Chain A
Amino acid sequence: GAGVSQSPSNKVTEKGKDVELRCDPISGHTALYWYRQSLGQGLEFLIYFQGNSAPDKSGLPSDRFSAERTGGSVSTLTIQRTQQEDSAVYLCASSSWADRDDNEQFFGPGTRLTVL
């Protein structure tokens, strides 16, 4: 079946512009995660959605970052007034959360964001 998809695959923007990154999770997965991967920093957790619960935004680095998940499916990560330090690969993952003891997360291919 279809995996997690993300769009665009690459995004180049100018400093100060807003960007939107999209994630289509695996159908039926209730949990959705956004991570950021930058050189030297590894993978950082950004935000987590689980069903209809309020999202866990504890990983968002600043108030320029926001995310929403419409209808419990597609998610959009928005970065306002982009800065050069926002350049990174943004990864989305989803999981079924069917078994608390085995919450395998399925990752999308990522969006490579470059801020000039």
Chain B
Amino acid sequence: SQELEQSPQSLIVQEGKNLTINCTSSKTLYGLYWYKQKYGEGLIFLMMLQKGGEEKSHEKITAKLDEKKQQSSLHITASQPSHAGIYLCGADPGYALNFGKGTSLLVTP
């Protein structure tokens, strides 16, 4: 089965700083999803990457999938308190998603 390893497990950054979260797969990724979770709000879809070398951006969040399609990174520029939450990467093996264990992000003033 496909395993997803996220790093770091948790992150505390000062408001305005940049940060990167990584997601490494044990197998080739054929669809990589990034979600954000806040308490009591379920998961919010951020981006989906499929092609090697693909990069997508939404507001201050950029996600990339490497050429070999085994690693993805999520980069937040000039972090804000609204970015706080748990970031999850999920791989699509054909139906449901296999998720990493998540990265907890706290943004301090």
Residues of A at under 8 Å CB distance from B?
4, 9, 31, 33, 35, 40-43, 45, 48, 50, 56, 59, 91, 93, 101-110
- The answer to whether A109 and B41 touch across the interface, beta carbons within 8 angstroms, is yes
In Å, the complex CA distance between A102 and B96 comes to 12
**Beta-carbon contacts under 8 Å, B22-46 to A:** 31, 33, 35, 40-45
Category for how many chain B residues contact A: 20 to 34
Chain B residues with Cβ below 8 Å from A91 are 42-43
- The answer to whether A56 and B95 touch across the interface, beta carbons within 8 angstroms, is yes
- The answer to whether B101 and A105 touch across the interface, beta carbons within 8 angstroms, is no
Residues of B at under 8 Å CB distance from A?
31, 33, 35, 40-45, 48, 50, 88, 90, 92, 95-102
- The answer to whether A56 and B31 touch across the interface, beta carbons within 8 angstroms, is no
- The answer to whether A42 and B95 touch across the interface, beta carbons within 8 angstroms, is no
Query: Which one of A4, A31, A33, A42 lies within 8 Å of B101 (CB-CB)?
Result: A42
Total A-B pairs, Cβ < 8 A: 56
Instruction: Name B's interface SS.
Output: loop
With both chains docked as a complex, state the minimum distance between the C-beta of A13 and any C-beta of chain B, in angstroms.
Answer: 20
**B51 nearest in chain A by CB position:** A101
In Å, the complex CA distance between A56 and B95 comes to 9
- The answer to whether B50 and A45 touch across the interface, beta carbons within 8 angstroms, is no
- The answer to whether B99 and A43 touch across the interface, beta carbons within 8 angstroms, is yes
With both chains docked as a complex, state the minimum distance between the C-beta of A61 and any C-beta of chain B, in angstroms.
Answer: 15
With both chains docked as a complex, state the minimum distance between the C-beta of A88 and any C-beta of chain B, in angstroms.
Answer: 14
